[in-house]
Structure 1
Amino acid sequence: MYSEIQRERADIGGLMARPEYREWNPELIKPKKLLNPVKASRSHQELHRELLMNHRRGLGVDSKPELQRVLEHRRRNQLLKKKKEELEAKRLQCPLEQELLRRQQRLNQLEKPPEKEEDHAPEFIKVRENLRRIATLTSEERAL
């Protein structure tokens, strides 16, 4: 197989050596590579040259503005600080503090249900009570 490829190349080379094939033949002419207009522009070449110089000097191109980097750094530090404080708060609570918190929560739950029962009354009962109040107020106004 390798010898077949060599033969084909030799045939092509042999054709080029013959005088009758030296004239124009569309099969033998290779098209030129088209130039990229962006890369050919002077401004692009100058920017590329500047980037290469900065790279050689060791100066990196900042992908983000300095203000944005500082703000992200602050946010990250604040989140880390907050997480650290939460972990310390959980760790530092002694059993006595934990028991006191549980007791306080139970007391709060015992105090809240009477208020919740009034809030969960059906709507028509609330409206009826409001009407009674209004009716008593109007009767008192009439008496005056």
Structure 2
Amino acid sequence: MAESDYLDDEECAELIKPRKLINPVKSSKNHQELHRELIINQKRGITPHKPELQRVMEQRKRDQVVKQRKEAEALKKSDLEQELMKRQQRLEQIEQEKLDAEERWENTPEFVKMKGNLRRTRQEEGADVQVS
């Protein structure tokens, strides 16, 4: 009979038996906790890392929903609030027009201002003569 290439237990007793090396990363506490968390999330169907496009699309969808809610709230304002908003806008518009007129007056040349002053004085003199 042919001899086998395998060694008997008696002959192996003197040899060093190979063992699997320990991976220091896998044996660390942080790695084990992270691995456990990933497994739990996978079972629940939650993926921790989403593709960038998917994250952007979800953010846009959330922004649209928020915008629609704000618009709906704006429409639901009471009549008093709406009237107050209209008045506030009118007052702001009038104030802006006054500022624009003052700015235009400041930017006009001096001779145009003097001419306007002369016209006013002539009109006032004419009004005094007619009243008397």
- Fold equivalence (TM over 0.5): no
Relative contact order (alpha carbons < 8 A, sep ≥ 6): 1 or 2 greater?
2
TM-score when normalising by structure 1: 0.31
TM-score when normalising by structure 2: 0.34
